[in-house]
Chains A and B, each alone.
Chain A
Amino acid sequence: MATAPSPRFRFGRSEVPARPGDSILAALARRGWPSLARSIRYHRPRGPACGVGQCTGCLVRVNGVPNVRSCQHPVHDGDVVRPENSWPGPRFDLLGALDLLLPNGVDTVHGLRRPSRAAPLYQWFGRRLAGFGRVPDRSATTPRGSALALTAGITVVGAGRSGRSVAEALARSGQRPLVVERRTAANAARGPASIEGVDLLPGTTATFLDPPRAGESSEFTLLGIDSGDRAILVRTTTVVVATGAYDGSLLFEGSDRPGVITADLALSGIDLPLGKVVVVGGGARALAVVERLSGGVGAVVAFGEIGPEVVRAASERNIPLYPRSRVVRSVGRSHVRALELSRRDGGGTFRLPCRTVVLAHRRLPNAQLAFQGGARRRWHDGPAAYFPEIDALGRTSVPGIFAVGSAAAPGDLGGPAAEQAAAAVLDPTLAAAPRPASGAPGELVPYYRELLQEPRRGKWVLCPCEDVLLEELEAATARGYRGIELGMRYTGVGTGLCQGRYCLPEAIVLLSILEGREPTEVGHVTQRPPLVPTSLGSLATLRDELASGGGP
Chain B
Amino acid sequence: MTPERTDYRAVVVGAGVLGLYTAYHLAKAGERRVLVVDRGRLSAGGSGRNGGGVRQQWETRSTIRLSREAVAAYRRFDREFGHNIWFRQGGYLFLAGSPGELERLSRVRNAGRAEGLPVRLVGEGEVARLVDGIAPGACLGACYLASDGTLYPYPVLWGLYEAVRALGVEVALGVEALEVLRDDRGALSGVLTSSGRVSSPTVVNAAGGWSGEFSRRCGLAVRNTATRHEILATEPVKAFLEPMVVRVSDGLYFSQSMRGELVGGLSVPHLPGTEAGVPSSPRFVSAMASALVGLLPRLSGLGVLRAWAGFYDDTPDGLPVIGEDPRLPGFVHANGFGGHGFMLAPSASRRVAAAVLGEPVDLDPKEFSPARFLGPDSSPSAERLQLG
Contacts and interface: CB of A to CB of B under 8 A. Distances in A.
B371 to A, nearest CB: 32
A208 interface: yes
B78 to A, nearest CB: 4
A133 B237 contact: yes
A449 interface: no
B8 interface: no
B236 A130 contact: yes
A109 B300 CA distance: 33
25 contacts: A66-B301, A108-B84, A126-B258, A135-B133, A135-B298, A135-B299, A136-B299, A136-B301, A140-B301, A144-B300, A208-B282, A210-B281, A210-B282, A229-B301, A479-B162, A528-B280, A528-B306, A533-B234, A533-B304, A536-B234, A536-B303, A537-B301, A540-B289, A547-B287, A549-B283
Contacts of A552: 268-271, 283
B307 A536 contact: no
Interface stretch (A96-104, A157-165, A317-325, A482-490): A482-490
A486 B289 contact: no
B164 to A, nearest CB: 13
Nearest to A532: B303
B300 A137 contact: no
Interface stretch (A27-35, A111-119, A282-290, A355-363): A111-119
A221 interface: yes
Interface of B is mostly: mixed
Contacts of B82: 110
Nearest to A536: B289
Interface in B147-197: 154-155, 158, 162
Contact of A40 (B48, B236, B240, B298): B236
A137 B237 CA distance: 12
Contacts of A140: 298, 300-301
Nearest to A537: B300
A223 B89 CA distance: 37
Contacts of B235: 66-67, 132, 497, 533
B379 interface: no
B303 A543 contact: no
Given A116-B79, A131-B239, A210 B41 contact: no
A141 interface: yes
Interface in B70-105: 78-79, 82-84, 86-88
B365 interface: no
B238 interface: yes
Interface string A217-253: 0000101000001000100000000000000000000
A116 B78 contact: yes
A255 B132 CA distance: 39
Interface residues of A, number: 71
A499 B305 contact: yes
A184 interface: no
Contact of B302 (A135, A210, A499, A542): A135
A456 B196 CA distance: 45
Contacts of B302: 65-66, 135-136, 535-536
Contacts of A135: 132-133, 237-238, 240, 298-299, 302
Nearest 8 CB-CB pairs, A to B? A533-B303, A131-B260, A537-B300, A65-B301, A539-B289, A127-B239, A528-B306, A552-B269
Nearest to B289: A539
B237 A132 contact: yes
Contacts of B132: 135
Given A109-B84, A539-B285, 5 more contacts: A136-B298, A486-B43, A527-B306, A536-B300, A546-B282
Interface in B98-155: 132-133, 154-155
Interface of A is mostly: loop
A128 interface: yes
A110 B300 contact: no
Interface residues of B, number: 60
Interface in B278-314: 279-283, 285-287, 289-290, 292-294, 297-308
Nearest to A373: B279
A168 B303 CA distance: 34
A397 to B, nearest CB: 15
B42 A534 contact: no
Interface in B189-248: 234-240
A131 B307 CA distance: 18
B366 interface: no
A535 B303 contact: yes
Contacts of A486: 41-43
A523 B289 CA distance: 31
A123 B234 CA distance: 20
A339 B285 CA distance: 45
A208 B306 CA distance: 10
Nearest to B294: A540
Interface in B19-67: 41-44, 48
B259 interface: yes
Contacts of A134: 237-238, 240
Interface string A58-76: 0000001111000000000
B155 A109 contact: yes
Residue among B48, B155, B238 with most chain A CB within 10 A: B238
Contacts of B276: 213
Contacts of B293: 536-537, 540
Interface string B303-331: 11111100000000000000000000000
A20 interface: no
Nearest to A136: B301
Interface in A482-512: 483, 485-486, 489-490, 492, 497, 499
Contacts of B239: 127-128, 130-131
A3 to B, nearest CB: 31
Contacts of A535: 300-304
Residue among A112, A535, A536 with most chain B CB within 10 A: A536
B50 to A, nearest CB: 13
A528 B307 contact: yes
Contact of A123 (B158, B258, B300, B303): B258
A223 B282 contact: yes
Contact of A109 (B83, B234, B240, B308): B83
A353 interface: no
